[in-house]
Structure 1
């Protein structure tokens, strides 16, 4: 029984790490994935690399962005960092 009591601090540290680090990271990841899946044509977005553009077309995992007049680039959907809300 005494050995069990020596594991209590380790268990408490794991539980604290779960609520402080792991759980919030999972929530952020879920929110980012949801945002990337809900992007639609006409949305203004910023890629994880910092490129600003407007969504022109969407195919399965590919998003085409218009970044300037007559300039269309192809990105993976996962490359979208955020949607700009006006």
Structure 2
């Protein structure tokens, strides 16, 4: 009766703060290792792929067009690709989604 309810609540305040923050920190850690970190790795690999483009590579654009790289200029954001015989277009490097393996490079069937 002599202890007011405010003092009783204050004693558990420090422990309650830790127990409230622990799940939030755990969720952030899980998000970092399962979402943020793999996405950063994928972006790094894509930038390296775009930097290593060379003449003759078969590429897949973001629009779904499979083309052959004809001209690559360093320091320029555009790449000239051939989408059909004697049909050349310029595309931005960022729209290139993947570099495809050559047709004959598949593993032989056993």
After TM superposition, the score normalised by the length of structure 2 is 0.75
After TM superposition, the score normalised by the length of structure 1 is 0.94
Aligned-CA RMSD value: 0.9
Query: Larger strand proportion, structure 1 or 2?
Result: 1
Unaligned runs of 5+ in 2: 1-13, 103-110
Matched length:
86
Unaligned runs of 5+ in 1: none
The structure with the largest alpha-carbon Rg is: 2
Q: Which gives a bigger RCO, structure 1 or 2 (Cα 8 Å, sep 6+)?
A: 1
Q: Please give the residue correspondences for 1:59-74 in structure 2 after superposition, counting only pairs within 5 Å.
A: 59=73, 60-74=76-90
Matched with 1:75 is: 91
Point out 4+ residue stretches in structure 1 off by more than 3 angstroms.
none
